Amino acid sequence: MKKIIITIDGPAASGKGRIAKYIAKKYNLTHIDSGLLYRKIAKLLIDNKINLKNINHIKKLLNKNNNFTLRNNRDLRNEHIGKVSSIIAKMNFVRKHVNKQQILYTKQKTEKTGFVIDGRDIGSVVFKNADLKLYIEANEKNRAKRRHKQLIDSGERSIYPEILKDIKLRDKKDIKRKNSPLIVPKGAFIIDNNGSFKDTVSQINKLIKNL
């Protein structure tokens, strides 16, 4: 039986991760968080004290670590790792490495009914032929509030104006970057995530039931 693939694209802190986890649990899908893979690479670079301008050292590290698990770790969600992952995400060879990992995950045998993958180029680049493409929209202030709360809840120091400024900067970089810029994927359904989570998943459930 063919495994379904649902992609979730959208800007930073738009709620992609929470939505993907909900879909995975409700519809018995495996969740692949592309942002988590970039963060794992970023942590490796930080732990090994590798200069981000030293491309050869980064490539060597990737060649030694080409089988990341999908397990999430709370220590990967701090802002320093987030900023480093944002930098390396602009590197074409890093994106190719992560994209290859994601595709390999979907080829593995699983008892699940399919996969839900979230990121910022999933439906537009990695899985262009997905069964359902979603693009999550939320305004900058709502996204900054959510990220601010997430950091506070995890015990990290967080200042809302700084988070808002960082969100705006990331949006600008993601939209203008040469490699896989943030766009609404062709054929994607735009989901408004400015209201309650209940309203958001109501929109999504209607789409999934039609698959």
Instruction: State how far the alpha carbon of 23 is from the alpha carbons of 154, 164, 172, 193, in Å.
Output: 23, 28, 29, 15
pLDDT band at 8 (very low <50, low <70, confident <90, very high): very high
In 29-184 the beta strands, taken as DSSP E runs, fall at: 29-33, 114-119, 132-137
pTM of the entire predicted model:
0.89
Q: Which amino acid is at 170?
A: R
Angle at 165 between CA 201 and CA 84, to 5 degrees: 85
pLDDT digits (tens, 9 = 90+) for 55-96: 999 999 998 877 777 777 777 878 889 889 989 988 999 999
Q: Is the pLDDT of residue 174 over 70?
A: yes
